[in-house]
């Protein structure tokens, strides 16, 4: 596991979506585990080599437009014999898509905070 996982600038939050990966001649769909404005954690069948570049498309659970990013495999680890957990770092992302992810992360974090006013 790479030390990069410990140097995150932004927190990751859980997410349950499917991500479409477009390779040169191939197309895959992977479940996502968590997301931040800088990257995404996927579960994939087979190995994605470290530093591999991919084009990803997905829609956040709160709806909206399709987000399209380029991403680099930052780390991977086996989950079992044929399934791997993969961390991808976004290398190209539009400002609008980054803002949409930031808003999703913030809304998830706010939903997890206890309602202090209700406790008073």
Of 66, 73, 74, the C-alpha closest to 6 is 74
Between CA 62 and CA 22 the distance in angstroms is 23
Between CA 101 and CA 85 the distance in angstroms is 21
Counting Cα atoms < 13 Å in the Cβ hemisphere of 91 gives 13
Q: What separation, in Å, do the N-terminal and C-terminal C-alpha atoms of the chain show?
A: 44
Assigned domain for 120 exists: no
Assigned domain for 3 exists: no
Domain range holding 54?
9-111
Assigned domain for 20 exists: yes
Assigned domain for 1 exists: no
- State pTM to two decimals: 0.84
Instruction: Residue 91: give its domain's CATH number.
Output: 2.40.10.220
Whole-number pLDDT of residue 110: 85
Q: What is the pLDDT of residues 76-96, one digit of tens each?
A: 999 988 899 999 999 999 999
Of 47, 93, 94, 55, the C-alpha closest to 72 is 55
Assigned domain for 2 exists: no
Whole-number pLDDT of residue 88: 96
Per-residue pLDDT at 39 exceeds 50: yes
CB of 39 within 8 A of CB of 48? Answer: no
**The total number of structural domains that make up the chain:** 1
């Amino acid at each position: 596991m790479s030390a990069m996982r410990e140097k995150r600038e932004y927190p990751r939050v859980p997410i349950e979506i499917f991500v479409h990966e477009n390779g040169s001649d191939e197309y895959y769909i992977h479940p996502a585990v968590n997301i931040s404005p800088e990257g995404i954690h996927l579960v994939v069948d087979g190995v994605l080599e470290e530093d591999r570049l991919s084009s990803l498309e997905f829609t956040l659970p709160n709806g909206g437009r399709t987000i399209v990013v380029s991403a680099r495999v930052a780390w991977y680890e086996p989950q079992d014999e044929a399934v791997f957990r993969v961390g991808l770092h976004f290398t190209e992302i539009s400002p609008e898509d980054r803002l949409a992810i930031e808003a999703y992360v913030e809304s998830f974090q706010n939903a997890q905070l206890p309602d202090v006013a209700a406790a008073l």
